[in-house]
Amino acid sequence: MLIDIIAGARPNFMKVAPIIHEIKKRQSLGSSIEFRLVHTGQHYDKKMSDDFFDQLNIPHPDVNLESGSGTQAEQTAKIMVRYEQLLMEKPCEITLVVGDVTSTMACSIAAKKLNIRVAHVEAGIRSFDLSMPEEINRMVTDSITDYFFITSETARENLLKAGVDSGKIYFVGNTMIDTLLKNRSRFQQPEVWNELNLSPKGYLVMTMHRPANVDAEHKLKEFMFKILDHSGDLSIIFPIHPRTAKVFDRIGLFHDRLHLTEPMSYLEFNYLVENAMAVITDSGGITEETTVMGIPCLTLRDNTERPETCEIGTNELIGTDPLNIPPALERLLSGNWRKGEIPALWDGKTSPRIVDVLEQI
């Protein structure tokens, strides 16, 4: 059975890595399961893509669709046309997509229209915020998915409410956490550690890239002022996404405690996170990693598709009003933050559970 594994953008790479490693392991034990790794090219910079392949030991993609940047529709269209062409030349039996990026949706549509079955890893999560492109990607993908691999019971409830047959839902856990736990002992101190003389719990890590937060210059400035004014003497390390970097270039904000770096590799970024006092972010995946590492996380969003990171883990939704930042930081600095626990099945063994199912179908 040939399975296409689709990877397009940075948050996909850590989700496909352990599935690929598990399939290879089974192959070496005689399993007939085969895969073809398809990189859509949505993320193409070395620091957004190649470094992750190298560090996570992901094999070179069998196919690169080289779709590159563009508007949502342009990217979707390019990926669909190119993936459809590949499938017409050499079809697979199952297309396995992960997460919620444009590539996830585009490849599932192209596959399903050719009557190829779709498996979705991280299915069923919902922010119920249709202003996020990711929410539309999740809804569309799940509406044509055949096998739903889920990370939480909430995801199951969402899918059942949408009318999905319970027999198609597999609660397997979280592949991103497989990658985190496997690589935890390999985390690498980034150069910035010595350059800034950082010490454990002596700094904050920040990431921001959501269009709603970063595209308006005044909003981003307001966030930064509030964070800088209320973080005591902590350094703030901000590995900056290309979208956000463009806005920072325009606003020209400098501060002696704010340190912007290029996007970091996986092992370096998570070294910083594991040793940080806290993380401030608008990412979804990072809230899962901080939950597992027990690091306080302040999320600058009004909603989350990962409620377990708040209900069980260390994440708090601070919202998108910069005025909410000072009280949250005061609470953090006074040591008053929930310790959190680890959600069910986020145990590093999700990929074997997924491949078990794939072998049965």
Give the catalytic positions in this structure: 209
Nearest in space to 302 (alpha carbons), one of 238, 220, 213, 229: 213
Q: Rounded to the nearest 10 degrees, how much is the dihedral formed by the CA atoms of 191, 205, 340, 183?
A: -30
Minimum distance from residue 269 beta carbon to ligand UD1 (Å) = 12
Kindly tell me which residue out of 5, 6, 11, 268 binds ligand UD1, with binding defined by CB under 6 A.
11
Residue number with CB closer to ligand UD1 (126 or 241)? 241
Minimum distance from residue 41 beta carbon to ligand UD1 (Å) = 9
Nearest in space to 2 (alpha carbons), one of 31, 29, 28: 31
CA angle, 310 then 316 then 319, to 5°: 125
Backbone dihedral angles phi then psi of residue 171, each to the nearest 5 degrees: -85, 105
Residue number with CB closer to ligand UD1 (124 or 198)? 124
User: Are the C-beta atoms of residues 52 and 44 closer than 8 Å to each other?
Assistant: no
Kindly tell me which residue out of 1, 25, 45, 357 binds ligand UD1, with binding defined by CB under 6 A.
45
Residue number with CB closer to ligand UD1 (21 or 210)? 210
Amino acid in position 4: D
Binding mask 226-255 for ligand UD1 (x = CB under 6 A): ---------------xxx------------
Binding mask 158-197 for ligand UD1 (x = CB under 6 A): ----------------------------------------
Report DSSP letters for 250-307, one per residue.
Answer: HH----TTEEEEPPPPHHHHHHHHHHSSEEEES-SHHHHHHHHHT--EEE-SS--S-T
Residue number with CB closer to ligand UD1 (44 or 225)? 44
Cβ neighbours of residue 181 closer than 8 Å, sequence gap 6 or more: 292, 347, 348
Residue number with CB closer to ligand UD1 (111 or 332)? 111
Q: Does the footprint of ligand UD1 cover residue 69 (CB under 6 A)?
A: yes
List residues binding ligand UD1 (CB under 6 A).
9-11, 42-45, 48, 69, 101-102, 133-134, 209, 241-243, 283
